[in-house]
Structure 1
Amino acid sequence: MTEASKIEKANALAKEVFLANLGLAGKVFEQSQDLLKQTEAKLKETESKCKDAYSKRNEFFDSLVVRGEKVQSDTLSKFEESKIQLTSKIEDGKSQVVSKFKDTKAQAIAKFEELKSESNAAVEGQIKTLREGFEKVKSKVSRTADEAVAEASAS
């Protein structure tokens, strides 16, 4: 091979390498253009979704407010029902306690009256016994005094 043919081959190879690089650059440019178009399409789609969501935000917010009002209303209703049931149970319990207290009070008064009667009878019995004893002592003292007077008169 001659030197001229070597130079021609080198030039041809250099030209092919240059054209390959140029082809690569073109391919990269085309792919980047496709990617840019895809990105723009996705951006427009996302932007559209954002605008839809933004336009529906008041509707969504209002639906949440309505839902919150319903939850509050249901909760207050259940609270009132529970309050009424609890109040009823307390009143029933109170009535039972008052009734039981009145029964116990009546029993205690009856027992007190019974004990009072027994106590009065026992006290009256003791008083009777004391009076009998007192009468015995009195009669003995009277007899002794009469005997003392009789002895004094006899002397």
Structure 2
Amino acid sequence: MTEASKIEKANALAKEVFLANLGLAGKVFEQSQDLFKQTEAKLKETESKCKDAYSKRNEFFDSLVVRGEKVQSDAVSKFESSKTQLTSKIEGSKSTAIAKFNDSKAQALAKFEELKSESNAAVEGQLKTLREGFDKVKSKVSRGTAEVSEVVVEATAS
């Protein structure tokens, strides 16, 4: 190979390397353009979502308020239901307690009356025994007074 052909080959190779670098730069530029377009599209999509979310914030807030009102309503309803059930149970227990108390009271009064009758009967029996004893003493005292009177009359008559 001659020197001119070597230079020509080196120039061709240099030109190819230059063109390859130029092609690489073009390819990088194209890919960066595609990446830029993709990023720009995603940015626009994100911006659109943000705008939608921003425009729907009042709607979202209102839906949260409605949900909060429902939760509150459900809680109050459950509370009222529990309160009603508890009040019903308390009233039932109260009625049962009053009924038991009245039964106990009636039994106590009946027992008191029974004991009172027994006590009155016992007192009447004691009074009867005392009266009989008193009548015996009275009749003995009366007989004794009659005998003393006879003795006094006999003594004064003599």
Q: Which residue of 2 aligns with 1:144?
A: none
Q: Which residue of 2 aligns with 1:16?
A: 16
Q: Which residue of 2 aligns with 1:148?
A: none
Give the superposition deviation at 1:124: 6.2
Once the two structures are superposed, what CA deviation does each residue of 1:8-61 show, in whole Å capped at 9, x if it has no partner? 212211211111111011011011101101111111111011101101101110
Output the amino acid matched with 2:110: A
Q: Would you say 1:37 and 2:42 are equivalent positions?
A: no
After the TM superposition, list the runs of 4 or more consecutive aligned residues in structure 1 that deviate by more than 4 angstroms.
Answer: 119-129
Query: CA RMSD of the aligned region, Å?
Result: 2.5
Q: Which residue of 1 aligns with 2:83?
A: 83
1:86-97 alignment runs, 5 A limit: 86-97=86-97
Q: Which residue of 2 aligns with 1:57?
A: 57
Identity %: 86
TM-score scaled to structure 2, two decimals? 0.72
Give the superposition deviation at 1:119: 4.7
Q: Which residue of 1 aligns with 2:106?
A: 106
TM-score scaled to structure 1, two decimals? 0.73
Q: Would you say 1:47 and 2:52 are equivalent positions?
A: no
- Structure 1, unpaired ranges of 5+: 139-155
Output the amino acid matched with 1:69: E
Q: Take 1:23 and 1:122, find their aligned partners in 2: how far apart are those partners?
A: 137
Q: Take 2:4 and 2:117, find their aligned partners in 1: how far apart are those partners?
A: 155
The aligned length equals: 135
